[in-house]
Amino acid sequence: MTVSRFVRHCDTRSPTGKESKSTPMIELTLGQIVEIVGGELAGGAQPDTTVTGTVEFDSRQVTAGGLFLALPGARVDGHEYATTAIGQGAVAVLAARPVDVPSIIVPPVTPTDSNADIYAHDPEGHGAAVIEALSKLARHVVDLAVGAHDLTVVALTGSAGKTSTKDFIATVLSMAGDTVAPPGSFNNEVGLPHTALRCTTHTRYLVAEMSARGIGHIAHLARITPPRIGAVLNVGSAHLGEFGSRANIAQAKGELVEALPAAADGGVAVLNADDPFVAAMAPRTTARVVTFSTANPPAPGAQYWAGDLELDDVARASFTLHTPRGSWPVSLQVFGEHQVANALAAAAVAIEAGVDETTVVSGLSSHAAASAHRMDVRTRPDGVTVINDSYNANPDSMRAGVAALAYTASARRDATSWAVLGQMGELGDEAVQEHRALGAELAKYHVERLIAVGDNPNCRALREQAAALGVRTDAVPDAASAVDLLRHQVRDGDVVLVKASNADQLWRVAEELHAMFDGDSRRDVEGL
């Protein structure tokens, strides 16, 4: 992910649920920051100047008293915006080469062999140096917050459902104390420390979502924001092309539980008992292990499990939450049966963090989707329901989306179920096979219409298998063509699932489906 594609702000929530999206960093002088990150002051920067604002890598977001991070990107280099950032009110720029403004200059480091996009345009190691400094600064701020207000760091990882579960956790924890959590999938070497810098001496909880593209990545992130509680959701086939096998994915995801403190020091590992790869991580930690299960009957020994599961006509789940201290009814406002596992993980994390069960249940039942294009389900006045889950796609989340589509359509008389699907990325040698399996999944759930968006081997495998099994299939080259087809063929009461890897930008289809009914239909969909 390039710098320009990062979400601009972090989500900082108070116990009232109100959000502040520009929380300044804990105040530090430039002299203190130099000691924390290494390097030297330059360009007239004074050691006693205090950073009173936020730390930003987008010069457009800089405000008075802030610190600007000069990161190289695919199209622009932040060093070229140093003067602009100072003009916007930054007191200094954190950079890896000289700039003609007050600055902290850190020495370049050997370019990393990481496969992260952020390092793809960094041959001289300038970006790597700034990111390393950012990590050191974030760790210092987290340590200050832990010492000042007993901050609890909660971390989670998994192949699917990380962001939805993170949003659940943030909602519940924010009802018990000031909570900092990232927006969207702000979960890598830049997003995680940038989120941590929103912590203040009053922050009670930091929710750290951790992604991995290889062995050692989660261990690195856990050193920046050392967790006391860590949850592993699942080990699927997302990023299989990068890891090579599910065993390697499990090895990487399990680095989170290895980073937890011992049980005697309050460490807790929350594991999905229904996933054998995750359950097998228990011996890899000295933390206390608790498990959750959505299976019926629940996995043996699971402390948190769901019973009496029911879905309403748009696949919102109601269930009984069973915990070590009793049972409570929960009715979710988010869509899809797969959200039950996300809610269970959030409940386990929050209760183990000390939040009482009635608060947890209230938070789960009131939670609404917080991250864009993730199981965003809206029904138009004509009864057409659009399930916009277009932010990302892997085999597990695709199956969950198809199940939600089929269930919602089945509850309606004469409704047609439409799957508008693009390809799933980063599946390596398994890609064509997984797309063929997805075509079979559509037939299994009796999905009636498929619009396969894109002309590539993956989409061809998807549509060929679906068509062979009786799913009426259309192939279109892009989002605009999909919208045009739907505009003429969708009928009142139909249900439309829109899903693909984020690079396909199929969220355009979902937004246009709503805009066309609202009388604000855009003539040029490709220009959205």
**What are the start and end residues of each CATH 3.40.1390.10 domain in the chain?**
3-133
Number of H helices, E strands in the chain: 17, 24
68 beta partners: 56, 93
Mean pLDDT is lowest, of 8-17, 28-37, 326-335, for 8-17
Spell out the long-range contacts of 512-519 with Cβ–Cβ below 8 A and sequence spacing 24 or more. 512/479, 512/483, 513/380, 513/384, 513/386, 513/483, 513/486, 514/378, 514/380, 514/386, 516/483, 516/487, 517/380, 517/381, 517/382, 517/384
Compare 11 and 119 and report the one with higher pLDDT. Answer: 119
Q: What does the pLDDT read at residue 526? A: 33
Q: Distance between CA 408 and CA 329 in Å, rounded?
A: 22
Instruction: Put the strands of the sheet holding 449-453 in their side by side order.
Output: 376-379, 385-388, 495-499, 417-421, 449-453, 472-476
Q: Distance between CA 308 and CA 303 in Å, rounded?
A: 16
Domain 376-527 falls under CATH 3.90.190.20:
yes
Compare 61 and 121 and report the one with higher pLDDT. Answer: 61
Q: What does the pLDDT read at residue 306? A: 97
Separation in Å, CA 121 to CA 84, 97, 107: 22, 15, 17
Q: Distance between CA 345 and CA 348 in Å, rounded?
A: 5
Q: Distance between CA 361 and CA 331 in Å, rounded?
A: 9
* Residue 158 known to bind ligand: yes
User: pLDDT tens digit string along 34-54?
Assistant: 999 999 999 999 999 999 999
Exposed, middle or buried, 156 (CB in 10 Å: 0-12/13-18/19+)? buried
> Which tokens in the block code for residue 349?
């994390």
Rounded to an integer, the average pLDDT of 291-317 is 93
pLDDT surpassing 90 at residue 160? no
Q: Distance between CA 440 and CA 240 in Å, rounded?
A: 20
Three-state DSSP class for 504? helix
Angle at 387 between CA 386 and CA 391, to 5 degrees: 125
User: pLDDT tens digit string along 468-525?
Assistant: 999 999 999 999 999 999 999 999 999 999 998 877 888 889 889 988 765 433 333 3
Q: Distance between CA 271 and CA 230 in Å, rounded?
A: 8
Compare 11 and 67 and report the one with higher pLDDT. Answer: 67
pLDDT surpassing 60 at residue 528? no
* Residue 161 known to bind ligand: yes
User: pLDDT tens digit string along 338-390?
Assistant: 899 999 999 999 999 999 999 999 999 998 876 667 778 888 888 999 999 88
**What are the start and end residues of each CATH 3.90.190.20 domain in the chain?**
376-527
Provide CATH code, domain 150-366: 3.40.1190.10
Q: What does the pLDDT read at residue 343? A: 97
Token pair 């939805």 in the structure block, residue? 164
Contact in structure between 466 and 439 (CB atoms under 8 Å): yes
User: pLDDT tens digit string along 64-74?
Assistant: 999 999 988 77
Range 87-114 burial, b when 16+ CB lie within 10 A, else e: ebebbbbbbbbebebbbbbbebbeebeb
- With cut-offs at 50, 70 and 90, classify the pLDDT of residue 120: low
Q: What does the pLDDT read at residue 212? A: 85
Q: What does the pLDDT read at residue 2? A: 37
Amino acid in position 291: T
* Residue 499 known to bind ligand: no
Contact in structure between 33 and 104 (CB atoms under 8 Å): yes
pLDDT surpassing 80 at residue 197? yes
The helix or strand, by DSSP H or E, that contains position 123, with its residue range, turns out to be none
- With cut-offs at 50, 70 and 90, classify the pLDDT of residue 19: very low
Q: What does the pLDDT read at residue 125? A: 80
pLDDT surpassing 60 at residue 454? yes
Rounded to an integer, the average pLDDT of 189-202 is 92
11 beta partners: 181
**pLDDT more than 70, % of the chain:** 88
**What are the start and end residues of each CATH 3.40.1190.10 domain in the chain?**
150-366
Contact in structure between 514 and 378 (CB atoms under 8 Å): yes
pLDDT surpassing 60 at residue 21? no
- With cut-offs at 50, 70 and 90, classify the pLDDT of residue 9: very low
Q: Distance between CA 214 and CA 26 in Å, rounded?
A: 32
**Nearest-CA neighbor of 458 among 364, 383, 394, 528?**
394
Classify domain 3-133 by CATH architecture.
3-Layer(aba) Sandwich (3.40)
Contact in structure between 210 and 195 (CB atoms under 8 Å): no
User: pLDDT tens digit string along 380-422?
Assistant: 888 999 999 887 788 888 988 899 899 899 888 889 999 999 9
Token pair 């987290």 in the structure block, residue? 142
User: pLDDT tens digit string along 167-190?
Assistant: 999 999 999 999 999 876 678 888
The neighbour count for residue 470, using CB atoms within 10 Å, is 11
Question: DSSP code of 23?
Answer: P
Angle at 35 between CA 30 and CA 37, to 5 degrees: 90
Across the chain, what does the average pLDDT equal?
Answer: 88
Compare 404 and 7 and report the one with higher pLDDT. Answer: 404
Q: What does the pLDDT read at residue 517? A: 61
Q: What does the pLDDT read at residue 252? A: 92
Three-state DSSP class for 244? coil
Separation in Å, CA 430 to CA 185, 455, 463: 24, 18, 17
Q: What does the pLDDT read at residue 396? A: 84
The helix or strand, by DSSP H or E, that contains position 77, with its residue range, turns out to be none
* Residue 163 known to bind ligand: yes
Compare 18 and 156 and report the one with higher pLDDT. Answer: 156
Token pair 């406002």 in the structure block, residue? 333
